[in-house]
Amino acid sequence: MVISDAQPLVVGLCHQEASLAELGRATLRREALAGALGRLRDAGLEEAVVLSTCSRIEVCTTTTGSADQRAGAVLDAMSEWSGLPRDRIGSLARVLVGREAVDHLFRVTAGLESRLVGDTDVLAQVRGAWRAAGEAGTAGPLTSRLLPASIRCAQQVHTRTPLGRQRRSLARRAVDVGVTLAAPDGTRGLRVLVVGSGQMAQVACEHLATHGLACRVVARDPSYAARLVGPARACAWERLADEVARADLLLCATSAPHHVLTRDQVSAAMAARHVPLTIVDLAVPGNVDPGACGVEGVRLVDLTTLGDDARHDPAVAAAVRDATLLVEEAARRFCDDLAAAHAGPVIRAVREQVERTCREELRRHGGPSDPAALAEAVHAIVGKVMHRPALLARAAAAAGDEGALHLLCEAFGVAPPGQRDAGSTSLNSWSPPASRSSSGPTFGSSWVRK
């Protein structure tokens, strides 16, 4: 009898280790998720959720033994779809197991691991990743508990802490930075162009409006652009070069896997004008050729300069602390509940043994001869006998005390939990989440670098 074999495993790359170019190659567009999930399933990962954002590409799966083999399968798949060398992928990757994986996923979903700490847009991205796994058939028993729990926790952060009310997001940050750089003396007459029509573009358009700024939108499908700013300010893709030539501030946020604006296009747009152009590239991979920053009069800002860990804003830092406490408590509670549930096999085995013994003794000592009466007596006695052992088993499982579970099994004469492989760790032997400092991740025993 094994108390628990499955434990969460998170493997992937994030902005703290991988460069923007490397993330650009490894991240997946929405339409590529189904193929990636199928590739992981073919590699033996029956449960898999792929989270691909501008800050990370991570796979949440499970492992029943040593994490090395399963993590290796994920890294092989990432190397295949990104084209990055396997050794390079391995040197950048984070591998988290058990409680550290849970703690990490809860923090990610709440925006606490984002480039812009507290980014509220991550919640929608996690929802999308979860939905894609369901559609691909790779959402299994453990991920079906873990992902919804992390989503519920993030919703609580948004509604119960100041961090959620501040509505921090990279798109809003991009607007604020872009407007400050493009119009240091005031926004009157500022001409703004947004390229793209997805979630980031929508948030950017909405935030521009709070600055009192109208914008034009270029999108491959003008009808999507019209939904953001109306038909009069929606532009066809073919007009991109002309619109760039008219803009003072350009915000790029498409899902294209390549540059949509080259250095030559930017150079041509600047040839007929004498005012500077500020470009903010929100995309991963980048929408704008980095060489564009070499064109005279052009200032190019990418995601590497939009990050903010909140340490320099006392109000945001306090809100992050409040959110962190909520997230840590929710992750701990999830792990404890999950571990306690794994006491079930022990409790069932002990209960069956007590029932057998009770039935035999009642028959031997003149108990009820009627089967129904005998069953009722057994049920009543077993209920009283099992109350304390069941409580102890659940508490031991939640505390990770397998020794106590073994002793309980021995005391009642049932087979103890089965021995695991040397490299295996059950949910009941997870260690508490390691503390994190503001300077970066903590590399504890469940972090593996290859």
pLDDT tens profile 357-391: 999 999 888 888 888 988 999 899 998 998 888 88
Where does residue 198 fall: left (phi above 0), alpha (psi -120 to 50 degrees), or beta otherwise?
beta
User: What's the CA gap between 34 and 52, in Å, rounded?
Assistant: 12
Return the SS3 of 443: coil
pLDDT under 50: residue ranges of the chain: 1-4, 419-450
Return the SS3 of 215: strand
Structural contact between residues 342 and 426, judged by C-beta atoms closer than 8 angstroms: yes
User: What's the CA gap between 200 and 364, in Å, rounded?
Assistant: 75
For 419, which DSSP code?
A: P
Per-residue pLDDT of 179-216, as tens digits, reads 999 999 888 999 999 999 998 999 999 999 999 999 99
pLDDT of residue 435: 34
121 is annotated as contributing to ligand binding: yes
pLDDT of residue 273: 84
The matching CATH number, chosen from 3.30.450.20, 2.20.70.10, 3.30.460.30, 1.10.3720.10, for 7-167+318-339 is 3.30.460.30
Where does residue 212 fall: left (phi above 0), alpha (psi -120 to 50 degrees), or beta otherwise?
left
pLDDT of residue 450: 37
User: What's the CA gap between 19 and 89, in Å, rounded?
Assistant: 12
Kind and range of the H or E run holding 63: strand 56-63
4 is annotated as contributing to ligand binding: no
- Of 192, 112, 188, the closest CA to residue 154 belongs to 112
pLDDT of residue 5: 56
User: What's the CA gap between 84 and 17, in Å, rounded?
Assistant: 14
Q: What is the pLDDT of the chain when averaged over all its residues?
A: 87
- Of 220, 343, 195, the closest CA to residue 280 belongs to 195
User: What's the CA gap between 40 and 61, in Å, rounded?
Assistant: 10
409 is annotated as contributing to ligand binding: no
pLDDT of residue 348: 86
For the chain, which residues make up each domain, given as ranges? Answer: 7-167+318-339, 170-305, 343-421
Burial (CB < 10 A; 0-12, 13-18, 19+), residue 256, is: middle
Question: Is residue 252 flagged as an active site residue?
Answer: no
User: What's the CA gap between 443 and 71, in Å, rounded?
Assistant: 16
pLDDT of residue 418: 52
- Residue 234 pairs in a beta bridge with 217
> Which residue type does 97 have?
V
pLDDT of residue 417: 56
Structural contact between residues 52 and 129, judged by C-beta atoms closer than 8 angstroms: yes
Give the Cβ contact number of residue 30 at 10 Å.
12
68 is annotated as contributing to ligand binding: no
Q: What distances in angstroms separate CA 350 from CA 253, 374, 435, one per listed residue? A: 59, 20, 37
Which one from 14, 54, 205, 235 is the annotated catalytic residue?
A: 54
114 is annotated as contributing to ligand binding: yes
User: What's the CA gap between 340 and 315, in Å, rounded?
Assistant: 38
403 is annotated as contributing to ligand binding: no
pLDDT of residue 240: 94
The matching CATH number, chosen from 3.40.50.720, 1.20.140.10, 3.30.420.140, 3.40.47.10, for 170-305 is 3.40.50.720
What is the sign, positive or negative, of the torsion defined by CA atoms of 113, 317, 149, 69?
positive
